[in-house]
Amino acid sequence: MPFAILWRAAPAKTFNDLMARAQAALDQRKGNGKTSRAEGLFKQVQKCIELLADNPRHPGLKTHEFHSIDHPYDPKQKVFEAYVQNRTPGAYRLFWCYGPGKNEITILAITPHP
């Protein structure tokens, strides 16, 4: 059963910014067949979210527990990190948790790996 995706304010803004940059890059290249970095990054973030909604344990996400962010709904619960990119300088990561309700996932952050 797919999960409903809920957004915190900061990752929603990041997602919208990435989408706007990708759209601007697409408009600028006007049919040139070469995809820009902005377009590629947005496509990867979007795919990560789709995979997460369908199956949080999908092997491509490399999901694992993350200890430096507190769970916003229940401090006893876990926060997870999923890979948007891998083997890329400044690879993007998506941080998420289950909740607040059943079959819901909350996106906590979308950020480049330090």
**Could you tell me the end-to-end alpha-carbon distance of the chain, in angstroms, rounded to an integer?**
33
pTM of structure: 0.91
- Calpha distance 24→87 (Å, rounded): 26
pLDDT for 1: 64
Model pLDDT for residues 28-68, shown as the tens digit of each residue: 877 677 888 999 999 999 999 999 999 999 999 999 999 99
User: Is there a contact between 71 and 97 (Cβ–Cβ < 8 Å)?
Assistant: yes
Q: Which two tokens stand for residue 31?
A: 């049919």
- Calpha distance 24→47 (Å, rounded): 20
- Summarize the confidence of residues 56-83 as an average pLDDT: 94
Domain annotation for the chain: domains and CATH numbers: 4-112 (3.30.2310.20)
Rounded-to-5 percentages of helix, strand, coil across the chain? 35, 25, 40
- Calpha distance 94→52 (Å, rounded): 10
